[in-house]
Structure 1
Amino acid sequence: MTSPDPLPARADGGSTIAGNQPSGPLAGYADWPAFLAATAPHRPGDERGDALARVLGARRPVADDVRVDRTWSRDGVDGSELSWQLPYGPRTRAWLLRPAGIRSPLPGLLALHCHGGVRSVGAEQLVETDRPAHPTAARLRRDIYDGRAPANDLARAGFAVLAHDTFSWGSRAFDLSRPTPRLAEHIAAREALWRERDESPSSDDRFDAISTLHEDSLAKAAGMLGTSLAGAVASDDLAALDVLAALPGVDPERLGTLGLSGGGGRAVLAAALDRRISATVVTCMMATFASLVPAEIDTHSWLLHSPGIRSVGDLPELARPRDGQELLVQYGEHDPLFPVKGMRAAHDALAGATGYTGSFHEAGHVSSASMQDEALAFLRARLGA
């Protein structure tokens, strides 16, 4: 067996050697604390949205220097790889997909990637380009998206689809090449476990595992800086929504969002924080908080278990559509991450809400082909694609 290197690989797969001194738990984001100190939480302009933004510490950063880095056309889709710079951290990489040859304004969709227990990739799990897929993205597509690239299918159906790496994922990952002593101890324990199991994980698998260990320190730092992991992710998502709405060929009056698992939770927050989102699809990410605590505390990450969020409302309350919004929630009857009673209770809490549709599927924690087809039909009907 080849013993794994004692230091974690970077998200880009490059060398890990960067000196002997730890660079701190916020490496790659040295400008983040100053940004947070200088900006107030976002104010959506309604009581629930304002309270949610305040509890999460969600900001409204502005994307600067939006570039089209390359384009391609394949299988009925015109694709662009975009990037932009937020006021902190590395550049954001994103993909914009449209039906081939169509230049007239289209409804825009913000496609949100899941947590997945990985951070070596983000939105690439949703997108098929003209290049070979990152191995982790290909695995996620195979295992949880029924082998499909959802963003491509939505583009072929008549949407302009933007899928971006969010805070701490993919291009927005933290630099973990010089871990702090505390993180180094956790890494050493994980290395020992791999050796005991005679496992030689890839550099991407190692980075994913170590990023999971880093999440606790990241969430702690976020709280002390006046935000949260969920709030930082929501801030990136709001910036991406602004990019989408301003793109040529996108109708800013017809915007929607969708996501599976952690992406579904992000979709709930985005719709609650921005009234421009008129159609939302949440897949395998809905239950009452009471059904998750304490039994499922270790099942989910800081992205869901955000400190103080329950003071604003239960998860179905946060997802409840407001005037002009419609919501589809897809539940997996065999989802191992959410108790069935909690899902049923959430459905019952939402059942009387105007604009809500709930559907239960013979599925686990996945976005199956039939679920994707249902989501596409819902979005086409609501947004006029």
Structure 2
Amino acid sequence: MFQSRKIFLALLFVTASASSAPQSGIIEGNLPANVAQLKAQMTYPDAWLSGNYHDFTQWQQHARGLLRSALLTPESHRAFSPQTVAEEDRGSYVAQKVALNITDDNRINALMLTPKSSGPHPAIVLLHDHGSKFDIGKEKVIRPWNDAEKLTSAQAWADKFFTGRFIGDELAKRGYVVIAIDSTGWGERGPMVYEQQQALASNYFNLGRSLAGEMAYEDTRTVDFLASLNNVDPQRIGVLGFSMGGFRAWQLAALSDKVAATAVISWFGTYDGLMQPGNNVLRGQSAFYMLHPGMPAHLDIPDIASIAAPKPMLIYSGDKDKLFPPQAVKDAYAKVHKVWASQNAEDKLITKSWPELGHVFYKEQQDEVFPWLDKWLKP
């Protein structure tokens, strides 16, 4: 009897010891060991699809306020004070390098293309990608001049991702005023190296700011700048971005009610679908340009994009894009379609996955996107 009691107590001790043993802190993909428990808590209570809201306009204002607060960036009040520093005639349009106060803290150079025809014109904010290529930013989408080395680099990028075209120049030929700026770290605001990104993001937090927030806020200021120009119709401003620029595009549409139409190329999914071992968002570094503290506790990626509803939005992905798993994209598409449908605006939302394409914005895609923009911005 005594021996049986000793065995029973020993088993209790072993069981208790096993249950109280600490977990490993980190698992595959640099994820915390309790990732399953944390993901289960991501119920997105502030989403329109949560059922917690009944007035779409009020929800939109609430959700936009959450996102704006997460930027950790104060409002800017300085005049833009633009100044042309270089210019090139391109036939039906003029290319300019323009210096402007993008925020109270930053005066930067932008590239602008302006048709020679009489305005006011529709306009496009072009948002460059990441690509771990920092020597060029705005030049990835608008052809540079007076710099042979930069032009060679930009043309090689256009050849790789855009079938040799400069997206901005193609749009200017169609009658749009086009603008592109460098995000912090690219082009004339860099160039940095890949390993600097994490420290840069950390130091923004040390300064009470956010790297992702600064990028997002500067994009909204770019729209505001276009809307202030006499030769631009402020009711017909669209945004277009590829890769990280696609992320910036739907984010900008969510932040600014001045955006009339949005084209998103190769950056869409759900948090759950993207937070899988091997995915780029788990690597740190470049991910910090797209991380707003606390937002995933409130809204999923398609929930944020849906703040722009019921305005026109087009979202393209490639099924062979290794950065964005098809299921993650499909789940995100389903969410945004539910939101636009709830506002009787499904005709204003286009989503498409290209079976044979990867992480690119090729001519065949452009040939669908450009007329779609015309439909909404050049009625």
> TM-score under structure 2 normalisation?
0.75
- 1:344 matched to 2:330? The reply is yes
- 1:239 matched to 2:251? The reply is no
Partner of 2:46: none
Question: Cα distance 1:168–1:143, how it changes in 2: closer, same or farther (>3 A)?
Answer: same
**2:200 aligns with one of 198, 218, 233:** 218
- 1:96 matched to 2:96? The reply is no
The amino acid of 2:63's aligned partner reads R
Whole-angstrom distance in 1 between the partners of 2:216 and 2:210: 10
- What 5-or-longer segments of structure 2 have no aligned partner? 1-58
- 1:381 matched to 2:341? The reply is no
Whole-angstrom distance in 1 between the partners of 2:249 and 2:298: 17
Question: Cα distance 1:286–1:229, how it changes in 2: closer, same or farther (>3 A)?
Answer: same
Q: Residue 312 of structure 1: CA displacement?
A: 3.1
Whole-angstrom distance in 2 between the partners of 1:167 and 1:236: 10
How do 1:1-385 and structure 2 match up within 5 A?
A: 46-61=61-76, 62=78, 64-85=80-101, 86-89=103-106, 91-99=107-115, 101-131=116-146, 132=148, 133-173=150-190, 207-208=191-192, 210=193, 212-295=194-277, 296=279, 297-298=282-283, 301-320=287-306, 322-323=308-309, 325-352=311-338, 353=340, 354=345, 355-361=348-354, 362-384=356-378
Asked whether the equivalents of residues 256 and 280 of structure 1 are also in contact (C-alpha less than 8 Å), the reply is yes
- What 5-or-longer segments of structure 1 have no aligned partner? 1-43, 174-206
The amino acid of 1:137's aligned partner reads A
Question: Cα distance 1:129–1:215, how it changes in 2: closer, same or farther (>3 A)?
Answer: closer
The amino acid of 1:70's aligned partner reads A
Q: Residue 75 of structure 1: CA displacement?
A: 4.5
Question: Cα distance 1:84–1:45, how it changes in 2: closer, same or farther (>3 A)?
Answer: farther
Higher relative contact order (CA 8 A, sep 6+): 1
The amino acid of 1:140's aligned partner reads W
Asked whether the equivalents of residues 143 and 154 of structure 2 are also in contact (C-alpha less than 8 Å), the reply is no
Greater radius of gyration (CA): 2
Question: Cα distance 1:245–1:264, how it changes in 2: closer, same or farther (>3 A)?
Answer: same
Question: Cα distance 1:143–1:365, how it changes in 2: closer, same or farther (>3 A)?
Answer: same
Whole-angstrom distance in 1 between the partners of 2:304 and 2:60: 15
The amino acid of 1:127's aligned partner reads I
> TM-score under structure 1 normalisation?
0.74
Question: Aligned residues, how many?
Answer: 305
Q: Residue 323 of structure 1: CA displacement?
A: 4.9
Partner of 2:17: none
Whole-angstrom distance in 2 between the partners of 1:264 and 1:115: 10
Q: Residue 256 of structure 1: CA displacement?
A: 0.9
Question: Cα distance 1:335–1:73, how it changes in 2: closer, same or farther (>3 A)?
Answer: same
Q: Residue 321 of structure 1: CA displacement?
A: 5.2
Whole-angstrom distance in 2 between the partners of 1:226 and 1:326: 35
* CA RMSD of superposed structures (Å): 2.1
The amino acid of 1:78's aligned partner reads V
Asked whether the equivalents of residues 321 and 356 of structure 1 are also in contact (C-alpha less than 8 Å), the reply is no
Question: Cα distance 1:359–1:58, how it changes in 2: closer, same or farther (>3 A)?
Answer: farther
Asked whether the equivalents of residues 335 and 364 of structure 1 are also in contact (C-alpha less than 8 Å), the reply is yes
Whole-angstrom distance in 2 between the partners of 1:82 and 1:97: 10
